[in-house]
Structure 1
Amino acid sequence: MAGSIPALVTPFQRGGALDLVAFEDLVDWQLQQGSNGLVIGGSTGESGALDESELAALLEIGVRRAGGRVPVIAGTGGAATGKALRLVRLAAAVGADAALAVTPFYSRPTQAGMLAHFRLLADDGSLPVILYNVPSRTGVDLLPESVAQLAPHPRIIGIKEAVTEPQRMSALLQLRSAQFAVLSGDDPTALRALRAGADGLISVVANLVPALTAELCRAVRNGQMQAAQEIDAMLAPLYAAAASEPNPIPVKAGLAMMRRMNDLLRLPLLPLSDVYRPALAAALRHARVPLHGALAA
């Protein structure tokens, strides 16, 4: 589990149904552009707005189009362990390669509660589990001491860490092994994490610039730090634009600007506010993303 792994958005039709044609096109494009894996049905994919049959439909497309070339990772988060386990089993049934399991949100369990949660998911044996820690969204922080207790589990194969302090990544990298990968979950600090030894990046902006994020990871792996810094500088305005409103609002707006899909979301999320659109378009142009019409200026 390494390299650039986009956390894919979920396209919707005007009436609110899944746009499976647009999703298949997105998956194919990501594979053509060199992405090293696909996360489907995570928070960037509006997991909270998807029912289980919709998650299954998205995963089936990802598995079929990937054809074993890259791992397909299913978002399997839930506030309750029972729901998370149900999603892990669903993902296994449709052929996903791993489960990305976020810390239980809203319920704010203790460290001991999270240990029990993740061990149950892993012990079930349906899929290998990747831990996902993103306290800014979940309200709870899986501490490195807890990760150290989980990392030796043979069915827990890594962590996506979205805490950005360098000390956190440093502590997790001490747990890294051939069986346990450490992945950055924060685009703006990904280069720093990669240079420190992280295996890869689960990325939001890779929805928009998959070739560049893949090249960023490859450059660091090959010791081409100057090239990596140049790519990171090219992407810096896009990192900021992607955070102008809650994820995945800006990324979907960017994909619409690129004419890859519309920018529709499910409530309570709304399309990007007009005030942020010029900066997003400018950031895409800075990253040399082809735009059309007035946006190309």
Structure 2
Amino acid sequence: MTTTAATPAPPFGRALCAMITPFTASGELDLDGAQRLADRLVTEGCDGLVLSGTTGESPTTTDAEKSALVRAVREAVGERAPIVAGVGTADTRHTVELALAAGKAGADGVLVVTPYYSRPPQDAVEEHFRTVADASGLPVMLYDIPGRTGTRIEPETMLRLAAHPRIVAVKDCSYDFLGTQKVLARTELAYYAGCEEHILPLYAVGGTGYVSTVANLVPRQLRSILDAFDAGDTARAARLQQQATELIESTMSAGLPGTVTVKALLNDLTLPAGPVRPPLRPATRETVAELRAAYERLRAG
């Protein structure tokens, strides 16, 4: 894609995977598995990795585990792909601590989710993000996912935050396509689709790419959507997006968190994953069989 003033260079690449955090059978952090998975994802088309996000089970990993994961993945991928570390919490002070630790561990950027549970008003949301961005020397990707946090980053708040020199990107799970386009039209924020069904629609109106849970499973297939669009073959891009719909729905909209379904299928494929940590519970055999069937149909297509 030709970069123009309206389409700034992707700060973290285009095709980003929201990587799971592999655990051993006993539930400990599996750094060797994380390195093998990260290498596979980059080799198969991911040009950026997001660690310790929702898919990475960040609520149940310790601060030390988060830093160890960044260091291990950095060792595995070197400079082949940017690493964005999830550091968002409901506590501004703790978020700042995690952002500083991520930088020391080797992250290239931080993903900061809206503070959850306490439901802060918009001026407090804005101050939270500014405080984190001021404290850390790393570029910041805002994470707008009101369905989980209970609080939206309203478009007007996003417009003000876009003026901060280190707030450069958004992972968009707002399901407000109009609001997203309003911000796209008035800022140079790099917008990444956080919901796989929006990969092509958001890219077509000026988005930067995606941060995808499903990319843990089919990195090449999702990247091909962007590649086809960039090549000017919009009809092929649409077909590829449509072909991915069954696996996207099975993984993300089947009544289970994406972490559960992705880890279940990765385990079935004998790829690094391991168990989920409580309170999450493993998928049933029937669910795994359905996921595997959808996966095989997409691979065959």
Using the size of structure 2 for normalisation, the TM-score is 0.92
User: Counterpart of 1:130?
Assistant: 141
Q: CA deviation at 1:289?
A: 6.9
Q: 1:106 aligns to what SS in structure 2?
A: coil
2:265 counterpart of 1:254 = yes
Distance 2:273 2:56 in 1: 14
Does structure 2 conserve the Cα–Cα contact (< 8 Å) formed by 1:183 and 1:198? yes
User: Counterpart of 1:187?
Assistant: 196
Q: 1:12 aligns to what SS in structure 2?
A: coil
Change (3 A) 1:80 1:279: same
Q: 1:54 aligns to what SS in structure 2?
A: helix
The count of residues paired between Structure 1 and Structure 2 equals: 288
Q: CA deviation at 1:277?
A: 2.5
1:38 alignment partner AA: L
Does structure 2 conserve the Cα–Cα contact (< 8 Å) formed by 1:182 and 1:200? yes
Q: CA deviation at 1:20?
A: 1.3
2:213 counterpart of 1:197 = no
User: Counterpart of 1:210?
Assistant: 219
User: Counterpart of 2:278?
Assistant: 267
Q: Unaligned stretches of 5+ in structure 1?
A: 291-297
Q: CA deviation at 1:280?
A: 0.9
Q: CA deviation at 1:262?
A: 4.5
Distance 2:60 2:41 in 1: 23
1:1-297 superposed matches below 5 A: 1=11, 2-177=13-188, 180-243=189-252, 244=254, 245-288=256-299
Using the size of structure 1 for normalisation, the TM-score is 0.93
Q: CA deviation at 1:21?
A: 1.4
Shifted more, 110-119 versus 219-228: the winner is 219-228
Q: 1:38 aligns to what SS in structure 2?
A: strand
Distance 2:263 2:123 in 1: 37
Structure 1 residue runs of 4+, over 6 Å off?
none
Q: CA deviation at 1:173?
A: 1.3
Q: CA deviation at 1:206?
A: 0.3
Distance 2:226 2:264 in 1: 25
Q: 2:186 aligns to what SS in structure 1?
A: coil
Does structure 1 conserve the Cα–Cα contact (< 8 Å) formed by 2:193 and 2:202? yes
Q: 1:248 aligns to what SS in structure 2?
A: helix
CA RMSD, 1 decimal:
1.5
Shifted more, 267-276 versus 32-41: the winner is 267-276
Q: CA deviation at 1:35?
A: 0.6
Distance 2:198 2:118 in 1: 28
Change (3 A) 1:30 1:289: farther
Q: 1:212 aligns to what SS in structure 2?
A: helix
User: Counterpart of 2:4?
Assistant: none
Q: 1:11 aligns to what SS in structure 2?
A: coil
**Residues 174-216 of structure 1: CA distance to partner in whole angstroms, max 9, x if unpaired?**
1342xx2111111012211111110110001000001111221
Does structure 2 conserve the Cα–Cα contact (< 8 Å) formed by 1:172 and 1:182? no
Shifted more, 116-125 versus 200-209: the winner is 116-125
Q: CA deviation at 1:250?
A: 0.5
Shifted more, 49-58 versus 211-220: the winner is 211-220
Q: CA deviation at 1:165?
A: 3.2
**Residues 135-182 of structure 1: CA distance to partner in whole angstroms, max 9, x if unpaired?**
1111110011000000011111111110223213212211342xx211
Distance 1:108 1:270 in 2: 27
Question: What's the % identity of the aligned pairs?
Answer: 34
Q: Unaligned stretches of 5+ in structure 2?
A: 1-10
